[in-house]
A and B are shown apart, each in its own frame.
Chain A
Amino acid sequence: MTVDLVIAGRRIRLHSREGVEIRPDERFSAFTAPAEMPFAVHRDILPETVPDTLPQEEQSLTGTGMLSEDQCHPGTGMFPKDQCHTGTGISPEDQCHTGAGMSPEDQCHTSAGMSPEDQCHTGAGMSSRSTGTFSERVTGEDHDLDADMVVDADLVADADLVVEVEPGPGEIPASAEKVFDAQLMEEVPGGVINSGEPFWEIFSGGGVTYARVFLKEPERRALLEMPNGEKRWRIFTGEVTGAPEDVGVTADLYNDRSGLAPDNFISQPVTGPPQVDAGVRVTTDSCNDGSGLAPDNFIASHLPDPSQDNAGTDYQTAGTIAEAPITVNPLPYPLDGLLFYFLFSRTGDIMIHGSGVSCQGRGWLFTGRSGSGKTTLARIFDRAGDSVIHDDRLVLCRSEDGWMMHNTPVYRNDEPRSAPLDHLWIIRHGSANVSEPVTGAEAVAMILANSIQQNWDRVAAARLAAAADDLVSSVRVSRLSFLPDGTIREYLRLRKEEEISIAASAAGALLSAGKNITVTAGGYSMWPAIRPGDKVEIAPFVEGAAAAGRIVALRRDGGFVLHRITRVMTVSGRRVIVTCGDAAARADEPAGAGMIAGIVHSVTRSGRLITPPRRRWPRWMNRITAAVAGWVRG
């Protein structure tokens, strides 16, 4: 059977062979969509038409705006060569080669040992058995191999991902290497501790990434198998451990005749409401602590020996199971979150820890560490009648109209919600409502620090950084300290409406009219060249005056900022000026000449005219310590 889930705009097609009923638990009810598969039409498609479409689909999975080429041209005004440091293994292309010894395309070819065309005909690494079963479901009769091939391609055609759901254990090849190990994290008063219990592990080998997940009730190890660069994955729902039948477990274990079927393996016929994994389902209350950590009821106990490998386990597939239909929950927690995470990572999306609201048509996302106030803010906006997209985790996707934020059903029953993203705020509790813009690498770092990262995978890490870079180039990012009361909503609403400063407009008008103005410096960003109280004379800016070393007045909310030009460059025929405060740790966002209101003509300190000194040698580095963003990491 086939079940389609649409989550964050991505269509995930769960598919099983005959006799295996897929029944996602009730969290997914509102995310289940009718399969868009016009079989009658597709049955007429000749096999040779398929290879033309499949590789393109594969690209959409691995790329979606984040292909290696795009990473070099993110539209942020950077030189492509700046971002692609050949010879250092950092360009996306190089990363592909470095990370797994082959490009995604190569991996694709290697994983099944055949060309994409061949994969298409064989179901991209899926067993021919499952393919045949699917065609039988569609037509009610057996078909020859060619007919199966056509239907199998249809299965993939309109989905972002197809996941074959297989009851029983999967197998990780002995040649695969463990690349990441996540233990169950427990939240305790005053912090978080690592329980030391296995939670999930990632293996990589032969062009395939495997996620082995330790589930609790019933205790078993599920396996998610993800061939790199392909949009066809498999879930093995796992063998039950701890029972005598564990030895040499076979698919019969899930057969009703055994009398030992675990809770979520229900023999047909099934009636009544969908059965859920009671022990692994998360309620809002238990996981809404903002920690991103597994709630207490995920504390694993009596887990199997992690050293025990599935390899070599004797299990059977279709033949036995087909005789006794069974029902499986394909996406128990945390397998669901892992699957979504890997999918969204490959599509260039961002999974972020935060609460998102839509206030008067503006989508605002509040992100920050545990306890920073995400849930508090969601409640404030909810009480004011605004739409809360989600109060803990969101998926950010780039669309044709810009970045969107979406909820997911991982943590509770929900309905699909989304909103265009207007502003991202990095929040913390404060004694007043204060916001300040954050740009460039700092903004990207703050987003990454609050996102779900995959830093064992070079390609995925680079892709996430590229996505965050793209995000900050089109969505404003600010730090926000706030009071936990209703005033913050009004503060943000008014701030958005009154971003034009009257004072800046007046001074700008004088400069535009060719008049010099004198202002009193009030900050330390140009220390020691310009100090608070200095009288700074600003002359109208003329294009030819832009040169490294000159101090200029940049237009900002509420007035001007005096910073020094550090570089003038030409990007795509356009002159771009990079500025930085002498005492600032970070450079400003590169700007066109239009952002410069004037150029510093003189500085007067205590009645004496002084010459501003040359650029000083600043501190160069800030360490950004980031909280471990939770979600699927446990």
Chain B
Amino acid sequence: MISLSSTPSHSPSVVYRKINGEYLLIPLTDNIADMDSLYRLTETGAFIWELIDGERDISDIAAKIVEEFDVEPEIAEKDALEFFREIQEFLHFRET
């Protein structure tokens, strides 16, 4: 279960490319049935994506969001958790 103390790191199972401040995520797959979706991270998602370094946990990342954006810490944490839950298949997580 992903929590604020989970530390995300990038996974080799996804190819990603930065385009005009956004990220396109391309999941690698071995079956045509799974090859049906791409993900696009907007500039805000890209901001979070670039904070993933295998060292920061999600609460650290939420703190960075608060520094950058006009957002309350509770909302930043909630949104960061939601973000990572939504794209968890593209990342590895460890508990700290």
Q: Tell me whether A587 and B20 are in contact (CB under 8 A).
A: yes
Q: A78–B18 contact, CB under 8 A?
A: yes
Chain A stretch 436-480: residues in CB contact (< 8 A) with chain B? 439-442, 444-445, 448-449, 453, 455-458, 461-462, 465-466, 469, 472
Partner pick for A444 among B24, B33, B71, CB 8 A cutoff: B24
| Chain A residues within an 8 Å CB radius of B70 | 613-617
User: In the complex, which residues 350-400 of chain A have their Cβ closer than 8 Å to any Cβ of chain B?
Assistant: none
Q: Would you give the shortest CB distance from B38 to chain A, in whole angstroms?
A: 5
Q: Is the beta-carbon distance between A623 and B39 smaller than 8 angstroms?
A: yes
Complex CA distance for A441 and B43, rounded to whole angstroms: 10
CB of A555 closer than 8 Å to a CB of B: no
Interface string of B34-71 (1 = CB under 8 A from A): 01111111111100100000000000000001000111
Question: Is B20 a contact of A78 with CB atoms below 8 Å?
Answer: yes
By the criterion CB–CB under 8 Å, are B21 and A456 in contact? no
Complex contact A622–B42 (CB within 8 A)? yes
Of the candidates A442, A458, A618, the one whose C-beta lies within 8 Å of that of B40 is A442
In the complex, what's the smallest C-beta–C-beta distance from A23 to chain B, in angstroms?
32
Considering only residues 166-184 of chain A, those with a C-beta below 8 Å from chain B are 178-183
Chain A stretch 596-634: residues in CB contact (< 8 A) with chain B: 613-628, 633-634
**Number of chain B residues close to chain A: CB under 8 A:** 42
Q: Which residue of A lies closest to B87 (CB)?
A: A621
Is the CB–CB distance between A458 and B20 below 8 Å?
no
A90 contact set on B, CB distance < 8 A: 10, 15-17
A566 touches B43 (CB 8 A): yes
Residue of B nearest to A448 (CB): B38
Residue of A78, A439, A589, A617 touching B71 (CB-CB under 8 A): A617
Q: How far apart are the CA atoms of A458 and B33 in the complex, in Å?
A: 18
Interface: A490 (CB within 8 A)? no
Q: Are A628 and B38 in contact (CB under 8 A)?
A: no
Q: Which chain A residues lie closer than 8 Å to B79 at the CB level?
A: 617, 620
Report the minimal beta-carbon distance from A550 to chain B, rounded to whole angstroms.
15
Q: Are B83 and A620 in contact (CB under 8 A)?
A: yes
1/0 per residue, CB under 8 A from B, across A569-590: the answer is: 0000000001010000111111
Kindly state the separation between the CA atoms of A98 and B20 in the bound complex, as whole angstroms. Answer: 25
A587, B22: Cβ atoms under 8 Å?
Answer: yes
With a cutoff of 8 Å between Cβ atoms, the chain A residues found around residue B44 in the complex are 617-620
Verify if A567 is at the interface (C-beta below 8 Å from B).
Answer: yes
- Is the Cβ of B24 less than 8 Å from the Cβ of A626? no
A441-B22, A455-B27, A455-B29 known; A587+B38 contact, CB < 8 A? no
Q: Which residues of B contact A228 (CB under 8 A)?
A: none
> Chain B contacts of A185 at CB under 8 A?
32
Out of B17, B20, B36, B42, name the residue touching A621 (CB < 8 Å): B42
Complex contact B42–A617 (CB within 8 A): no
Per-residue interface assignment for chain B, residues 1 to 38, with 1 indicating a CB less than 8 Å from any chain A CB and 0 otherwise: 00000000010100111111111101111111101111
Q: Are A461 and B15 in contact (CB under 8 A)?
A: yes
Q: Are A590 and B21 in contact (CB under 8 A)?
A: yes
Per-position contact with B for A318-353: 1 when CB-CB < 8 Å, else 0? 000000000000000000000000000000000000
**Which of B19, B21, B35, B87 touches A453 (beta carbons < 8 Å)?**
B35
Partner of A89, one of B10, B17, B32, B45: B10
- CB contacts (< 8 Å) of A585 on chain B: these are 42
Contact string against B for A residues 477-489, beta-carbon threshold 8 Å, 1 for contact and 0 otherwise: 0000000000000
Q: Is A501 an interface residue (CB 8 A)?
A: no
Across the interface, which residues of B come within 8 angstroms of A518, CB to CB? none
List chain A residues, Cβ under 8 A from B27: 455
- B-side contacts of A469, CB under 8 Å: 17, 19
Do residues B22 and A458 form an inter-chain contact, with CB atoms below 8 A? no
Indicate which residue in A78, A622, A626 contacts B36 across the interface (CB closer than 8 Å). A626
A241: interface (CB < 8 Å): no
In the complex, whether A525 has a CB less than 8 A from a CB of chain B is: no
Which one of A82, A587, A615, A634 contacts B42 once the chains associate, using CB atoms below 8 Å? A587
Interchain CB contact (< 8 A) of B69 among A461, A472, A615: A615
Partner-B contacts on A (CB < 8 A): 76, 78, 82-83, 85, 88-90, 95, 98, 178-183, 185, 194, 439-442, 444-445, 448-449, 453, 455-458, 461-462, 465-466, 469, 472, 566-567, 578, 580, 585-590, 613-628, 633-634
A and B contact pairs by CB, cutoff 8 A, 27 listed: A83-B18, A89-B10, A90-B16, A181-B30, A194-B33, A439-B20, A440-B22, A441-B19, A441-B24, A441-B40, A448-B24, A448-B38, A455-B15, A455-B35, A461-B15, A465-B24, A469-B19, A587-B42, A588-B20, A590-B21, A616-B70, A617-B76, A620-B41, A622-B40, A624-B38, A628-B32, A628-B35
With A85-B10, A442-B22, A587-B43 given, name 10 new contacts (CB 8 A): A76-B20, A90-B17, A98-B12, A180-B32, A587-B20, A590-B20, A590-B21, A617-B69, A617-B70, A624-B40
4 shortest interchain CB distances as A-B pairs: A440-B20, A620-B45, A441-B22, A620-B44
